[in-house]
Amino acid sequence: MHRFNDLADFSTAEIGSLLELAQRLEQYPEPRALEGKILSLLFLSPSLRTLASFQAGMARLGGGSFVISPDMSIHGIETRPGIVMDGAAAEHIREAVPVIASYGDIMGIRAFAERRNLEREVADQEFEDLAELVDVPLINMESAIQHPCQSLADWKTMDDLGVPKAGGRFVLSWAYHPRALPLAVPSTTVKMAAMRGMDVVVLRPEGFELPEPIMAKARVLADASGGTVTETTERAEALEGAHVVYAKSWTSTRHYGDKVGDQALREELIDWCVDEPWFATAQPDCRFMHCLPVRRGVVVADRILDGPRSVVIAEARNRMYAQMAVLYRMLKG
């Protein structure tokens, strides 16, 4: 395994094998498995969970890691191609990435979407351009359209909790947020739940449709796994019988890159804050999932986050075990 980029690059059997490995490493630690190996982590965008869980996971396997981010005391990094570098930035990403990669045995890169060109970002062009500069195994730690580590951890969390695969109803719901957020988590999540064989419902207001290539891919994955993928604007219809409500805010695809248009649409949607009445016709033990960070009282009510439905801390903890399995498989086979 040379790249961990898109769950859909793998068969469900391969994902199952990774999840078994994650479970094994959780129950039976192997503190010397990756002794002598170095993980290099480039964060071009902020993080709490991804940064901490990769470093902790690598240490638990006996390896080492280092982090580079623009917030550190490094030379300013220019990312634009073909630019005359007569401004503040002293180093170009085209040198920085291969240099960082050369210090480690495996590399992770995080680079969020710029949210300017939907077609280019659905194609994940910026990440693909960075990946070409790396000649060691590479992990996508969240790009414009992928967040495979989050989805692997979410799949594990549902397995741990016994959430049904076939016949399990998974509602990916848009939620209000004051800012336009990237498409990576919802795009990866809809594919993950489809691959898991669930009946996936994307609940979102008009103007917040997920990109059609993502929905089409999710439908193909669902066909292969025995699941389904539908979308609706109707909350009551979506939530009926739900086993999971996975909340996430994302940018308007109708107004992609247009802050004013997006803002005008979203300011009418402040009531899209997940709260107990949403669960009236869901399964009694319907779970609440979110990748974090989450805005309390904006995306979701405190009583949901603090109550028995919420599994957000388990999801975050499973990031570490899921990524340990990925590191182990990529470095040890």
Q: Which residues bind ligand CP (CB under 6 A)?
A: 47-50, 142, 150, 291-293
Least Å from the CB of residue 151 to ligand CP: 10
- Residues in contact with 88: Cβ distance below 8 Å, sequence separation at least 6, in sequence order: 76
Which residue type, as a one-letter code, is found at position 114? E
Task: Output 279 or 288, the one with its CB closest to ligand CP.
Answer: 288
Measure the CA dihedral 276/282/284/286, to 10°.
-80
Task: Tell me whether strands 138-140 and 3-4 are parallel, antiparallel or unpaired.
Answer: parallel
Least Å from the CB of residue 271 to ligand CP: 25
As a whole number of angstroms, the distance between CA 63 and CA 105 comes to 10
Task: Output 239 or 320, the one with its CB closest to ligand CP.
Answer: 320
Tell the residue number behind the tokens 């016949």, with chain if given: 167
Task: Output 51 or 282, the one with its CB closest to ligand CP.
Answer: 51
Least Å from the CB of residue 87 to ligand CP: 29
As a whole number of angstroms, the distance between CA 131 and CA 136 comes to 10
Least Å from the CB of residue 192 to ligand CP: 14
Task: Output 41 or 282, the one with its CB closest to ligand CP.
Answer: 41
Task: Output 52 or 264, the one with its CB closest to ligand CP.
Answer: 52
Closest C-alpha among 66, 13, 17 to residue 42: 66
Task: Output 50 or 189, the one with its CB closest to ligand CP.
Answer: 50
Task: Output 61 or 153, the one with its CB closest to ligand CP.
Answer: 153
DSSP states of 84-123: ---SS--EEHHHHHHHHHHTSSEEEEE----SS-HHHHHT
Q: Which two tokens stand for residue 320?
A: 């570490």
Least Å from the CB of residue 131 to ligand CP: 19
Least Å from the CB of residue 312 to ligand CP: 10
Residue 191 has φ and ψ, to the nearest 5°, of -70, -40
- Look at the chain and count its residues: 333
As a whole number of angstroms, the distance between CA 271 and CA 175 comes to 9
Task: Output 154 or 199, the one with its CB closest to ligand CP.
Answer: 154
Residue 110 has φ and ψ, to the nearest 5°, of -115, 125
Closest C-alpha among 183, 176, 193 to residue 287: 193
Least Å from the CB of residue 142 to ligand CP: 6
**Do 39 and 104 meet the contact criterion of CB atoms below 8 Å apart?**
yes
Tell the residue number behind the tokens 């129950």, with chain if given: 27
As a whole number of angstroms, the distance between CA 45 and CA 26 comes to 28
Least Å from the CB of residue 90 to ligand CP: 27
Task: Output 56 or 220, the one with its CB closest to ligand CP.
Answer: 56
Least Å from the CB of residue 109 to ligand CP: 13
